[in-house]
Amino acid sequence: MDLALILGGLTNVLSLTNISLVLLGTLLGLFVGAMPGLSATMALALLLPLTFTLEPATGLSMLAALYVGASYAGSIAAILLRTPGTPAAAATVMDGYPLSEQGQAGKALGISLFSSFFGGLMSGVALLTAAPLLGVMVLEFGPVELFAIAVLGMTIIGSLSQGSVVPGLLSGGLGLLVSTVGMDTTTGTPRMAFGNINLFSGIDFTVALIGLFSVPQALLLIEKTGSPSKVASAIKDRLVPKMSELKRLMPNILRSGCIGIATGLIPGTGGDTASWFAYNEAKRFAKDKSSFGKGNIAGVAAPEAANNAVVGGALVPTIALGIPGSSSTAILLGALMVQGILPGPNLLTDHGEITFTLIWAVIMANIALLVVGLMFTKLCVSVTRIPDGFVACAIITLCIIGSFAINNNFFDVGLMLAFGAFGYWMVKADISPAPMVIGLILGPVMEKSYKQSMLIGQESFWVFLESPIATVLLLIALLSFLQATPFFRWIKSLFKMIRSQ
């Protein structure tokens, strides 16, 4: 790597116009991320034509800032309203909303902001120092390895269902079932679509997510209106977390950041997957597992550090190989093309200055996120002062706009409402929607990679054991699976019995 190029990129980023546009981009990202249904990808695509007239460095910085901002802001609505603003923030709901219910919304948001900042910063540094190295890793992940990752991810359902095994598995199974709707990739024919062309590409994950989380929440708020039990607005609790708290969370944040970078690297997985992986690992390593889901700050820090670390991870294949790691980075690649740069493996060498500008912009954007985020979040906390009835109406309105905006298709609004009604029933039946979300995210990944693996491996299961990466991942999955069953306890008691005899 050329030091001159790295410094060139840094000076490009540090111009006055650039910094102001980074701040603006972050603000836009925060807004888009906070709105359920409006995604970073969508905002990037809309902003893209506007950057054509800007200098390459400025345009890229602004886009990167938007991407970073949106990755954090999904947690705002997740914590305050139990409505994930972006798919990647679904895991944040688990512990973020309970905290908010306990009047600690400010604390939860502060933890989320700082975790996002550290996660994002980690991934930026990884990008700056190790992009070519990590790029080689990307190619190691083919269908076989992706299948193993999906299987490993499925074990999260087990850990999420601890204590309520049957409802948890039911929810996860339903998620998998719903994910089979749509085109069968190996035959090219639609399944379970009932001849409805709107279902040919399957059920959009975001549509289901909005319905499952947001609509039931709105209905519950309406049910609660009138009752005086509402927790007073929590502005008084400070947004900036205590040093001691951050110190305690640091190992968690570092681990989640690494998970985020790795998940971002792998083509086919992104922030939605990474946040659940990180959440699960935070729970696995925690001493006090039972407090998860009831408002543990570690359960907020983990998914947020991970989903912001995905930004840098997803940029690795983009920069090192010229292949987009996610739909958002695909648009960043488009931005490079418009500037007359044909993205490819030569991005770090021939177009080094622009590329390093982009990397520095990601790092800068994370710093901007901390500043702008603090102010923006402080404003958002005032949502807790608004009467529940109004909030409920606002949520429903946002849901309808959001689910329409994804594909500009009214069918999706109906679908979202159907999922909403189902989600409401799930709440009443005390079934957590979280396992269903995992099923919906990983079902398609698992199915497609399984079929591809079978084609590649001539219909033999050995193909999974021929790949060392897949073998290790599957072994970890097996251990996780056993951990969720009484198997290890049996072994322990067996040992005890032998010893006592």
Binding site for other proteins (CB under 8 A): 41-42, 44-46, 48-49, 138-144, 183, 185-190, 193, 195, 197-198, 200-201, 267-268, 317, 321-324, 327, 330-331, 334, 337-338, 340, 342-346, 407-409, 448, 452, 455-456, 458
**Residue entry with tokens 């399957």:** 202
* Of residues 45 and 482, the one with the C-beta less far from other proteins: 45
Question: By C-beta, is 25 or 257 nearer to other proteins?
Answer: 25
The least distance separating other proteins from the CB of residue 453, rounded to whole angstroms, comes to: 9
Q: How far apart are CA 224 and CA 362, in angstroms?
A: 42
Taking the least distance from each CB to other proteins, the nearer of 186 and 485 is 186
Distance in Å, CB of 188 to other proteins, minimum:
3
CB 472, min distance to other proteins, A:
17
Which of 101/184 has CB closer to other proteins? 184
Joined tokens for residue 44: 């990037």
The amino acid that residue 81 corresponds to is L
State the sign of the Cα–Cα–Cα–Cα dihedral 316, 322, 328, 333.
Answer: positive
Are residues 328 and 123 in contact, defined by beta-carbon separation less than 8 angstroms? Answer: no
Partners of 190 in the β-ladder: 183
Q: How many CB atoms lie within 10 A of CB 73?
A: 31
Q: What are phi and psi of 182, to 5 degrees?
A: 120, -170
Cβ-based burial of 160 (10 A; exposed 0-12, middle 13-18, buried ≥19)? buried
Distance from C-alpha of 264 to C-alpha of 435, rounded to nearest angstrom: 21
Work out how close the CB of 328 gets to other proteins at its nearest, in angstroms, rounded to a whole number: 8
Nearest by Cα to 114 from 374, 407, 420: 374
Q: Which is nearer to other proteins, 241 or 267 (CB)?
A: 267
DSSP state of 39: -
How near is the Cβ of 452 to other proteins at its closest, in Å?
5
Give least dist CB 414 to other proteins, A: 14
Buried b vs exposed e over 219-246: b needs ≥16 C-beta within 10 Å? Answer: bebbeeeeeeeeeebbeebebebeeeeb
- Report the residue number, 217 or 318, with the smaller CB distance to other proteins: 318
C-alpha neighbours within 13 Å on the C-beta side of residue 186: 12
Sign of torsion, CA 78 81 83 85? negative
Strands (E), 248-371: none
Give me the least distance between CB of 334 and other proteins, in Å please.
5
**Nearer Cβ to other proteins, position 169 or 330?**
330
CB of 216 to other proteins, least distance (A): 26
Question: Which CB, 254 or 338, lies closer to other proteins?
Answer: 338
Nearer to other proteins, 143 or 153 (CB): 143
DSSP 151-163: HHHHHHHHHHTTT
Least Å from the CB of residue 321 to other proteins: 7
How many Å separate Cα 452 from the centre of its chain?
A: 25
Tokens representing 117 are 């900042």
